[in-house]
Amino acid sequence: MGEIRCYVVRQNKLLERLPSMDAALAISEKKAYLWIDLTDPTEADFAPLVEPFELHPLAIEDCLDDDQVPKMEEFPGHSFVLFNRWRQTGGPPAVEEVNFFLNDRYLLTVHAHGLSPDALADRFEACAKRDLAEARHGPDHLLHVLLDEIVDEKFEAIEALQEQLDDIEERILDGSEGFQPGQLVHLRRSLLRLRKSLVYEREILTKLCRRDSPYVSEAAVYAFRDINDHLTKFFEVVEICRELVASIIEIHLSAVNNQMALIGNRTNFVMRRLTMITVIFMPMTLLSGIGGMSEWSAMTKALPMPVAYALFFVLMGVVGWASYRVLIWLDRRDRRSAS
């Protein structure tokens, strides 16, 4: 069983909370209307509301299904509005559905998370009391007050996403090792979900401003236009954030490519040095092999042994120095050609 709160809104009076649904249904004042707030309702909770409020079964089904896109539909006896609430939780934003049944005699709100520390029912009640002067004008004005609160909460979620994006960008530019590419992936998914939600919600506000609902007065249209302007601004901010995500991904890939290029240059330099050492010592190794197999002694048998081996070491030094100079000349020539 969910929680049901019943209120009556009268002109020039404070918001009054009623003790029960029966007390709410007993009110028949012309200059007053009812506000019924349902938190975590079940199908049984809707049973006593179907007949007096003429609730359509398809609208009730949408309230019980959490996997719906924002929309506005007209049913006999009421207008149905489904909106998304974005709540910042420190990680990825939590998305919750908020449903509204609008009539000229009542406003019925349906949502979840009544037992959380950030209970939406308490926030709605505080908003209604804060903007009671506007809510007294009718259910459509109360709908504006509650939608405005939901849209303002979206701004907090967007700001949090922007801060995460700026933090990731700074870490990439600073070359910090704490960056994880998966963070960008999760951030991009949140932005895509938020963009999708804003697209449908702008359509809802366009319909309300066009007065597609017979329960929206001319005076309330100006208030809904203000919400529509906010959603348009948020949509543009989300689009900019999505472009920044793509740019940050390119920056990250460029940084990775630069690091790989530096590693490749270092490897090439090391290999060049090793190659030079190998080339220098290769002819010396040949000479030492010849001398070690007594061929050198046979070639220099007319010379004393100390002189022969001294001549041998001088010859190795000359060959090594000549190889080194040739390699240096070739290296300088290649650098001049490359530049």
Which pLDDT tens digit goes with each residue over 119-163?
A: 788 888 899 999 999 999 999 999 999 999 999 888 888 888 888
Q: Tell me, what's the pLDDT at 76?
A: 92
Distance CA 60, CA 335 (A): 77
pLDDT band at 115 (very low <50, low <70, confident <90, very high): very low
Given this model, what pLDDT does residue 310 score? 78
Q: CB-hemisphere CA count at 13 Å for 154?
A: 29
Report the C-alpha gap between 180 and 290 in whole angstroms.
Answer: 59
Per-residue pLDDT, averaged over 224-250, amounts to 87
Residue 166's pLDDT band (cuts 50, 70, 90): confident
Percent helix, strand, coil in the chain (nearest 5)? 65, 15, 20
Confidence at residue 312, expressed as pLDDT on a 0 to 100 scale? 72
pLDDT of residue 26: 86
Residue 294 pLDDT level (bands cut at 50, 70, 90) = low
Mean pLDDT value across residues 292-305: 64
Predicted pLDDT at 72: 93
List alpha helices for 175-210, DSSP H: 181-209
Arithmetic mean of pLDDT, 242-271 = 79
At 63, the amino acid letter reads: C
Span 290-299, average pLDDT: 61
Residue 264 has pLDDT above 90, yes or no: no
pLDDT bin (cut points 50, 70, 90) of residue 318 is confident
Q: Are 110 and 66 in contact (CB under 8 A)?
A: no
pLDDT, residue 91, reads 67
Rounded distance between C-alpha atoms, residue 107 and residue 102, angstroms: 5
**Sign of the dihedral through C-alpha 35, 41, 45, 50:** positive
pLDDT, position 179? 66
pLDDT bracket for residue 93 (50, 70, 90): confident
Burial of 261 (0-12, 13-18, 19+ CB in 10 A): exposed
Taking the CA atoms of residue 323, residue 329, residue 335 and residue 339 in that order, the dihedral angle to the nearest 10 degrees is: -170
- What number is the average pLDDT over the span 166-171? 79
CATH 3.30.460.20 fits 3-255, yes or no: yes
Q: Given this model, what pLDDT does residue 175 score?
A: 67
Q: Which residue has the tokens 């090793």?
A: 274
Distance CA 236, CA 57 (A): 36
pLDDT, greater one: 254 or 78: 78
What is the value of pTM for the model shown? 0.73
Domain locations in the chain as residue ranges = 3-255, 271-338
